[in-house]
Amino acid sequence: MFNKLIAILCLCLPVEALAQSKTTDFMLGNGMQVVVIEDHRAPVVVHMVWYKVGSADEPPGKSGIAHFLEHLMFKKTANLEAGELADTVAAHGGSHNAFTSFDYTGYFQRVAADRLDLMMQMEADRMTGLQLSPDDITVERNVVIEERNQRTESAPGALFNEHLQAALFLNHPYGVPIIGWMHELETLNYDDAMAFYKQHYAPNNAILVVAGDVTPQEVKALAEQYYGVVPANRAVAPRARRQEPPHRAARRVMFRDERVAQPFFARAYLAPERNSGDQRTAAALVYLAELLGGSGATSVLGQALQYDTRQAIYTSAQYSPTSLDHSSFSLVAVPAPEVPLQQIEDAVDATIANFLTHGIDIERFERIKSQFRASEIYAMDNVSGIARRYGAALTRGLTVADVQAWPQIVQSVTPQEVMEIAEQLFDEKASVTGWMMGPREETE
Amino acid sequence: MMRIFILGALLWAGAVQADVSVKTVTSPGGLSAWVLEEPAIPFTALNIMFSGGAALDPPDKRGAAYMMTGLLDEGAGDLDSQAFASAREALSASFSFDVSDDTLSISVRILSENRAEALALLKTALIKPRFDAEAVERVRQQVLSILASNAQDPTDTAQRVWAEQAFGDHAYGASYQGTESSITALTRSDLLAAHQNLLVRDAVSISAVGDITAEELGPILDDLLGDLPAGSALETPPLELDIPAGLTVVDMPTPQSVAIFGHRGIDRADPDFFAAFILNTILGGNGIESRLTAEVREKRGLTYGISTVLLTKDRANVMLGQVASANDRIGAAIEVIRDEWSKLARDGVTAEELQAAQTYLTGAYPLRFDGNSQIARILVGMQRQGLGLDYINTRNARINAVTLSEINRVAARLLQPEALNFVVVGQPTGLKEE
């Protein structure tokens, strides 16, 4: 219930794993990949199109264009008036939305299963048929500016995260915020949006995920009818992003904002991610995050800082295994009143050093392993969540086979593997340390 | 003697139909519950909701229910906080405890393979929480940290000030999370008192969805809840609603202002409630499709999000809205909101708008019944609101029965542009306090 504390730092998404639902996948002639996940408990379907393009694929100086375009995708198209897609979904009792990350942009609708054809018709239409006007740009850019105001400028924690992320990545575009820097966001124009759209929105750069009360046969027939006729786009190029050079110096972010009531300490390390056919290291890091900071009452950091010495009121470790390029592993500690940030930083470092010396509590390791297994059972209750796993993995270079192998790989990780990756991970030179400070905190 | 009634509820929305065969169970000990058997996945979602929440805190003990609820899984029976957490992790169960002004609710997911052990652990949290000094101090520091952060958050601040102005000295007028001074002063006996007041057997609504049968559930409930003290929750004191109209600015150094606005609402039992519900959907309830979103966001780009809600609390009904705009644009947003409020009160909705809202609401309703956890939440909420099982079948017909003249009569009754109270937090330019 005290999730406000947990929301303080979110460089990473929660652990992903896979429930074994009945899944079928195939390819359309134009290169569009299709995944069908069956769940016949309720007459509902989730229809998602994921494009293999995100904010980390933006041209320099145009930060925010991927997300801005996501907003503009609800405007007029060859066959739809502005807002008509939203109106139509609502008229059928459905819900819909869209999302942009570093690695992907996705659009989804959740409707009664027998309305799937209509959703496909509209989604296929806007894949290449967008017809923007200058007015759309002006008004919607203001909406996105207000979105940045709301999510970032009004939230010192978000500004701090932005700086931490920017300092962690020396060269890779993961250092640029998804929503864009304000000064660049303010200048995005029609040409920027259309150029990005024409280069990246095409069936051969998209993945269709349909989950719910459907059969692969009916999805295939509809997908061929609506998406199969959209020509492949030769302009779609393999993603080639600027990569990180060797990290040779630890960095510090000393962030002060008069709106900060609760100071805290954060540390982020560059970390490996899941790769196709090579997911064990990432699976071991998932354990490491849970062991160090999964639950305040039982984790290494929680026990040491919240219980034994009571220097902290909250601790956590976070790692998101699924990413196209480098991921990050982060530690957070919120000090108890009167505990200086330097003291909490030293305590975190000492706790990690102690962990590296003394190793893993095997009983706790086994409990975590069985929780990961149980989370697969609970995950089956939410077919939209399963659909998101596939979209989020397939847009990041993983295959359906990788997604399906992941839970077993997680179950097969050994404590030795976790300790081996821990030894490599905590390299000070590949880290950023952040102090989030209010008006009163002292820096020495 | 256990009684089970089976009521097949069939949801219709044009061609859509969701078969929700909910059964009602009365346990040998007299506890009643709603059950939906869904054995496909080997776990059960169990929801337990007590009537009576943080509004029962004594005036100088605001936050007692909140802190007590946060301590339920911080040590119980023979287990201290860490041992309890380890035991729960070993069972891979999830327990979530939440309190609001009017209710205390418990949402649980338990695996079929260790259901009995998980329920036994949950029972200790409900019946024998320890409130150890160590845990109380640790959680107190967490709550104080949350309060300090909330005080710097524009949205939290706007909501708090709006509630203070609307509800005055009533418990609703102060945050259920308490204040720095009330939380600092709370003692273990205050927490025990809150526990004794809120977790009472006759105040409970229960739903279970998943890999469990009605026959199994009855004895489980007696075992889980039978040892709670008998009796109903205390009554929340009544409230004479007297919301001032006007506009208050709370200075906060932030580039974007947040505004909370609203006035008196409508009771759930009022014969006009369904018309009001549709009206709110059209004005600001249905996100992107609403009039306010069209006018404030889509046409003018003044905000990322604007919405309104009919809030029905036990002792007060209010209609509330929220918007956030840059400091130099919030004035324009407020002007549009006032205009739309007046226009809708005066001219009502069109036949097309009414029909679109009815189609949306009736089509969306069956889609809600998706997933064990989600269905369990809906079922417990229905019981708490005093709705019968037949509500699942009759709700859409009641939405469709609302006529244009009815909704427009209700628009004139409900929407009072001159009664709107705005609380704006930020550094807005060109706004005058009223």
Does B278 lie in the same domain as B200?
no
Report yes or no: A337 at the B interface, CB cutoff 8 Å. yes
Of A139, A377, A380, which to mutate for an interface test with B (greatest number of B Cβ within 10 Å)? A377
Residue B302 lies in a domain: yes
Does B288 lie in the same domain as B139?
no
Percentage of chain B modeled with pLDDT above 90: 89
- Is A149 in contact with B256 (Cβ distance < 8 A)? yes
pLDDT category, A13, cuts 50, 70, 90? very low
Cα(A74)–Cα(A81) distance, integer angstroms: 9
**pLDDT beyond 90 at B129:** yes
pLDDT, mean over chain B: 93
Question: Which of B42, B86, B365 lies nearest to residue A298, judging by beta carbons?
Answer: B86
Cα(A379)–Cα(A194) distance, integer angstroms: 38
Domain count, chain B: 2
Q: Which residues pair with B12 in a beta bridge?
A: B17
Number of A to B CB contacts under 8 A, please give it: 193
- Is A153 in contact with B298 (Cβ distance < 8 A)? no
Q: Which of A1-5, B227-231, B282-286, B353-357 is least confident?
A: A1-5
Phi and psi dihedrals of B105, rounded to 5?
A: -125, 150
Does B314 lie in the same domain as B215?
no
Name the residue range of residue B69's domain. Answer: 22-225
Cα(A226)–Cα(A117) distance, integer angstroms: 8
Cα(A105)–Cα(A410) distance, integer angstroms: 27
| Predicted pLDDT at B19 | 56
| Predicted pLDDT at B231 | 85
Chain B positions in Cβ-Cβ contact with residue A378 (cut-off 8 Å): 43, 94, 109
pLDDT category, B112, cuts 50, 70, 90? very high
Cα(B368)–Cα(B36) distance, integer angstroms: 15
| Predicted pLDDT at A215 | 97
Residue B304 lies in a domain: yes
Tell me the residue ranges of DSSP E strands in B79-238.
79-80, 94-99, 103-111, 204-210
Which amino acid belongs to residue A385? G
Residue B106 lies in a domain: yes
| Predicted pLDDT at B17 | 46
- What is the chain A residue with the closest CA to B253? A259
pLDDT category, B287, cuts 50, 70, 90? low
Q: How far is B180 from chain A (nearest CA, A)?
A: 13
**pLDDT beyond 80 at A3:** no
Chain B positions in Cβ-Cβ contact with residue A85 (cut-off 8 Å): none
Question: Which of B109, B154, B303 lies nearest to residue A146, judging by beta carbons?
Answer: B303
Site of tokens 């095409």: A202
pLDDT category, B10, cuts 50, 70, 90? very low
**What is the three-class DSSP state of A224?**
helix
Residue B336 lies in a domain: yes
Query: pLDDT tens, B40-73?
Result: 999 999 999 999 999 999 999 999 999 999 999 9
Q: How far is A439 from chain B (nearest CA, A)?
A: 12
pLDDT category, B433, cuts 50, 70, 90? confident
Last residue of a domain, one of B225, B260, B285: B225
Strands A251-256, A431-437: pairing is parallel
Does B290 lie in the same domain as B163?
no
Chain B positions in Cβ-Cβ contact with residue A334 (cut-off 8 Å): 145
Structure tokens at A415: 């404590």
Residue B38 lies in a domain: yes
Q: What number is the average pLDDT over the span B312-318?
A: 97
Cα(B336)–Cα(B333) distance, integer angstroms: 5
- Rounded alpha-carbon distances, angstroms, from residue A198 to A134, A233, A235: 17, 9, 8
Q: How far is B28 from chain A (nearest CA, A)?
A: 30
Does B221 lie in the same domain as B79?
yes
Question: By the 8 A CB rule, do B180 and B144 touch?
Answer: yes
Q: How far is B85 from chain A (nearest CA, A)?
A: 6
Does B359 lie in the same domain as B257?
yes
**pLDDT beyond 50 at A25:** yes
| Predicted pLDDT at B286 | 77
| Predicted pLDDT at B16 | 43
Question: By the 8 A CB rule, do A245 and A170 touch?
Answer: yes
Does B300 lie in the same domain as B174?
no
| Predicted pLDDT at A4 | 42
Query: pLDDT tens, B163-209?
Result: 999 999 999 999 999 999 999 999 999 999 999 999 999 999 999 99
Cα(A166)–Cα(B324) distance, integer angstroms: 27
- Is A142 in contact with B301 (Cβ distance < 8 A)? yes
The b/e string for B30-48 (b: 16+ C-beta within 10 A; e otherwise) is ebbbbbbbbeebebbbbbb
Q: Which of A205-214, A224-233, B425-434 is least confident?
A: B425-434
pLDDT, mean over chain A: 94
Does B207 lie in the same domain as B339?
no
Structure tokens at B38: 């869904």
Query: pLDDT tens, A323-347?
Result: 999 999 999 999 999 999 999 999 9
Question: Which of A41, A86, A146 lies nearest to residue B40, judging by beta carbons?
Answer: A41
| Predicted pLDDT at B9 | 43
Does B43 lie in the same domain as B185?
yes
Does B79 lie in the same domain as B33?
yes
Residue B418 lies in a domain: yes
Q: What is the pTM of this model?
A: 0.93
Q: What is the CATH number of the domain that holds B375?
A: 3.30.830.10
| Predicted pLDDT at A444 | 58
Chain A positions in Cβ-Cβ contact with residue B145 (cut-off 8 Å): 5, 261-262, 313-314, 334
Nearest 10 degrees: Cα torsion B383, B387, B389, B391: -140
Does B138 lie in the same domain as B281?
no
Percentage of chain B modeled with pLDDT above 70: 95
Q: How far is A295 from chain B (nearest CA, A)?
A: 8
pLDDT category, A30, cuts 50, 70, 90? very high
**pLDDT beyond 50 at A17:** no
Check the CA dihedral B99-B100-B102-B106 and report its sign: negative
Report yes or no: A90 at the B interface, CB cutoff 8 Å. yes
Interface of A with B in 382-441 (CB under 8 A): 382-383
Does B278 lie in the same domain as B148?
no
Residue B174 lies in a domain: yes
Residue B131 lies in a domain: yes
- Rounded alpha-carbon distances, angstroms, from residue A202 to A14, A206, B64: 30, 6, 56
Active site residues per annotation of A: 70
